Amino acid sequence: MSEKINPEFLNQMQIYEALALGVLYSFNAHVDGHIAEFGTNTGRTAQWIAASMHEYEQRLQSKGLELNDIKSLHLFDSFQGMPEAQHEADKASPDVVNGTWGAGALKTMSADKLYSTVSKIIDAKKVLVFEGFYSTTLPMIPNESRYSMIHMDSTLYLSTFEVLDYLFGHGHVAEGALILFKGWNANRARNSVGERRAWLEVGEKYDIIPSDPAYFAWQGVKFFIHGYRGMPSS
Ligand SMILES: C[S@@+](CC[C@H](N)C(=O)[O-])C[C@H]1O[C@@H](n2cnc3c(N)ncnc32)[C@H](O)[C@@H]1O
C-alpha cells in the first residue's frame, strides 16, 4: 500500500466511533438516564460525547421532532491528576511504575475550563462537572439519577472499582445501559489489574448480566447491561 494511514488517528477514530454510537444507542433504544464520564483529563472524549449529543438533538430538530428524552452529561475527575496508587494491583501496574499514571499525572484541564468548553457544544444546563476524587463526588449523585451510558476512563483498578461499586450498589445503572472501558487492554490485558479486575469483581458482587464484550480501538471494550442485583425497574 503506498498511502500511509496514521495508526494513532485510526485508533482515535475508533474511540470516537464507540462513544458516538453509544450516544445514539442511548437515545434510539430509549435507555433511561444521563450520560457519565469518569476521567476527563484533556476533555477530549467529553467533547466527543457532547458533540454526539448535540448532533443527535440537531438532527431531531431539523426533522421538526421534539426531544422527549432529556439527557445531561455528568463529568467526573479529581482535576488534580491521578491519585497515588494504593492497592497492590495498581502499584504493580507497568504504567504506574513508569510514572505515566503516577500521583498527579494526567492533570490537563481545569474543571472551569472543561465546563466552559463543553457548554459551547451542548446547552450549559445539561453539563454537570463533579470536581474532586471519586470518594467525595460519587455521594453527590442524586439518588434518583440513572445512567444510560457510562464511559470509564480512570485507568486504575481502585478508581474503577470505586466508581462501579458505587453506581451498581446505588442502582444508578439503568437497564440496557452501555458501559465503555477505554483502558481495558492496558497492562498486557491482564485480568488481575486495572479495569478488567474491577469489572470481574463488581460483576460477581452484583451478579451483573452483561452482553458479550465488543472491542474497539486497541484498548477498549463495551458491554450492555441486561441485569444486576438491585437494578431499578423502569
Ligand atoms: C486517562 S485519563 C482520562 C482521559 C480523558 N478521557 C481524555 O479524553 O483526555 C484518567 C483520568 O482519571 C482521573 N482519575 C483517576 N482516578 C481518579 C479518582 N479516584 N478520582 C477522580 N479522578 C480520577 C485522573 O485525574 C485523569 O484525569
User: Is 45's C-beta closer than 6 angstroms to any atom of ligand 1?
Assistant: yes
**How much of the chain exceeds pLDDT 90, in percent?**
88
The secondary structure of residue 182, as a DSSP letter, is: T
- pLDDT band at residue 92, thresholds of 50, 70 and 90? confident
pLDDT of amino acid 129: 98
Q: What is the pLDDT of residue 122?
A: 97
pLDDT at residue number 2: 64
| Closest-lying ligand 1 atom to the alpha carbon of residue 132 | 21
Does the pLDDT value for residue 1 go beyond 70? no
Q: Decide whether any atom of ligand 1 lies within 6 Å of the 156 Cβ.
A: yes
Q: How far apart are CA 118 and CA 139, in angstroms?
A: 23
pTM over 0.95? The answer is yes
Residue 74 confidence class, pLDDT cut points 50, 70, 90: very high
Distance 75 CA to ligand 1 centre (A): 10
Domains and CATH numbers, the chain: 11-227 (3.40.50.150)
Residue the block writes with cell 460519587: 138
Give the C-alpha separation, 49 to 51, whole Å: 5
List phi, psi (to 5°) of 7.
-60, -35
R_g (Cα) of the chain, nearest Å:
17
Count of alpha carbons within 13 Å of 61, Cβ hemisphere only? Answer: 6
8 A C-beta contact, residue 43 and residue 114: yes
Task: Residue 181: count other Cβ atoms within 10 Å of its Cβ.
Answer: 26
- Between CA 115 and CA 109 the distance in angstroms is 10
Percent residues over pLDDT 70 in the chain = 99
